[in-house]
Amino acid sequence: MYRVYRDVFQGGMKVANYFMGYHMPEYIFGRGCVRDLPQVLKDKDAGKVLVVTDEGLVRLGIAGRVLDSLRDAGIEYALYSDVIPNPTSENVEAGFRVFRENGCQSVVALGGGSPMDCAKGICAKAAHPRKTVRQLQGLLRVHKRVPMLITVPTTSGTGSETTVAAVITDAATHHKATILDLVLIPTFAVLDPELTVTLPPDLTATTGMDALCHAVEAYTNRRYNTKYEDILAVRAVRLIYDNLQAAYEDGSDLVARENMQLAAFYAGRAFTRGCVGYVHAIGHTLGGLYGVPHGKAMAILLPHVMRAFGEAAQPRLAELADACGIPGESAADKADRFLSWIEEMKRRMNVPERLNMIREEDMDQIIWWAMKEANPLYPTPVLWNYDDFKAFIDSVRE
C-alpha cells in the first residue's frame, strides 16, 4: 500500500511541478567578476545588505575584499560571519537578529553551502519572524516573498546558488532537515572561479563530489525531470569527469576551476526539480549527528547507493558513461565502469571508502530520519523500507 501512496504522491508532484515556476537565477560568470557585485546591488536596488559568511573566509581575507568593495561603492552593509559547517537553527536565528536590528533589506551570501543555506534560512525567517526554523522546514512552508538574495559561491559543489533548498540542523535535536520553497531561489549569482583557487585539495574533492552526486541522483531519479534537467545533469557529469581531478591536483588551474563552477551550477539546477535521493537522505543524518561535512558524506555514499539500486539504475548510469566516453559491452557493464571511475577517483583524492563513524545506538534514528526525508518525496529508482536502509548501512560500515 505504501508503494501505491508514493506513486500517487509523486504523480501529483509531477503535475504540480509544471506550475511551480522553476528558473535559474540571473548570474554573471568569469574571472574577477566579483568586482561587479557592488554594481549588481545598485542595479537591483538592494538597499542595506546583510553579508552572511564564515570565519574561514574572514581569516583568508576574501570577505574583507568583498566588504571593502561594498564600502568603496557606498553600499551600506551589516556582517554575520559566525556560520559553522552544517549550519544550525541557532545560526539562522542569530543571523536574522543582525538582519532585523540593522534594518537590512537584502542578503548577500558569500561562501560555500553553509553560508548560502544559512542565508536562505535568514530570508525565510524574515518572511515569518514568529516561526521557528523547525516550523519552516519541509515542502513549501515559506510561500511568501522573502528579501532579495544574492549568492557568491566560493566552492564548486553545493549548487545552493541556484536551488530551492536550505539545509539546516536543529541545534537541540541535531536533526538535519531542509527548507524547500521556490521563493528561496536566489535572485542573482556571482560565479567567479578566482574565489575558488584557495580551496584546499580535500575540500575541492568533496565539494566536487557533492556536485557529482547532485547530477547523478537527479539523472537516475524517476518522474520529475524534463529534458532540460536531464541535459543539465549530463553536462555537469561530463564537466566533472573532465575537470575535478585537475582542480584537485592543481588548485590554480583556472580552466578546471571555471568548469567545476559551471558543473556545480548546472547540477544544482538539475536537482532543484529532479530531486536528490537516498545518498542525501542518509548523508544529512551523518552531518546532523556527527558533524560529517556534507560533501564528504556524499562522496562516501554515492557509488555504494547506486550499486545497491542494482538493475533499476543501470540504464541511466550507462547513459552517463556514454556521455563521458566510458566504453562497455552492455548497459550493466557501462554502469559498472562508470561507478568504478567514481570509486577510483575517490581513491586518488583520498576520500574514505566507508562509514566508520556510525554508532549502533544511533541506527534507528538515522534510518527514521532518512526515511522521513526521502519517502515519499524523492523519486528514487528503488523504494527502500526500514529493513532496506538497515541492510545498506550495515554493508557500508563494515
Q: Report how many domains make up the chain.
A: 2
Do the domain assignments include residue 6? no
Same domain for 179 and 222? no
Do the domain assignments include residue 2? no
Question: What residue has cell string 528558473?
Answer: 23
| Cell numbers for 311 | 538493475
Q: The whole model's pTM is what?
A: 0.95
Question: What residue has cell string 555514499?
Answer: 301
Burial of 317 by CB count in 10 Å (0-12 exposed, 13-18 middle, 19+ buried)?
buried
CATH number for the domain including 53?
3.40.50.1970
| Residuewise pLDDT in 10s, the chain (398 residues) | 788 999 999 999 999 999 888 899 999 999 999 999 999 999 999 999 999 999 999 999 999 999 999 999 999 999 999 999 999 999 999 999 999 999 999 999 999 999 999 999 999 999 999 999 999 999 999 999 999 999 999 999 999 999 999 999 999 999 999 999 999 999 999 999 999 999 999 999 999 999 999 999 999 998 999 999 999 999 999 999 999 999 999 999 999 999 999 999 999 999 999 999 999 999 999 999 999 999 999 999 999 999 999 999 999 999 999 999 999 999 999 999 999 999 999 999 999 999 999 999 999 999 999 999 999 999 999 999 999 999 999 999 86
| Cell numbers for 378 | 524523492
Same domain for 157 and 230? no
Max Cα–Cα distance, the chain, nearest Å: 63
Same domain for 224 and 361? yes
Selection from 273, 268, 285 nearest residue 371 by Cα = 285
Same domain for 54 and 140? yes
* Whole-angstrom distance, CA of residue 302 vs CA of residue 305: 5
Same domain for 224 and 169? no
Same domain for 191 and 213? no
CATH number for the domain including 391?
1.20.1090.10
User: Could you tell me the residue range of the domain that residue 144 belongs to?
Assistant: 22-196
Selection from 169, 157, 224 nearest residue 18 by Cα = 224
DSSP secondary structure code for residue 88 in this structure: B
Same domain for 336 and 192? no
- With b for 16 or more beta-carbon neighbours within 10 A and e for fewer, the 340-351 pattern comes to ebbbebbeebeb
Same domain for 46 and 105? yes
Angle, vertex CA 359, rays to CA 358 and CA 360, nearest 5: 120
Selection from 311, 300, 305 nearest residue 334 by Cα = 311
| Cell numbers for 340 | 568504478
Other CB atoms within 10 A of residue 261 CB: 27
Same domain for 220 and 322? yes
Beta bridge partners of 139: 180
Same domain for 329 and 379? yes
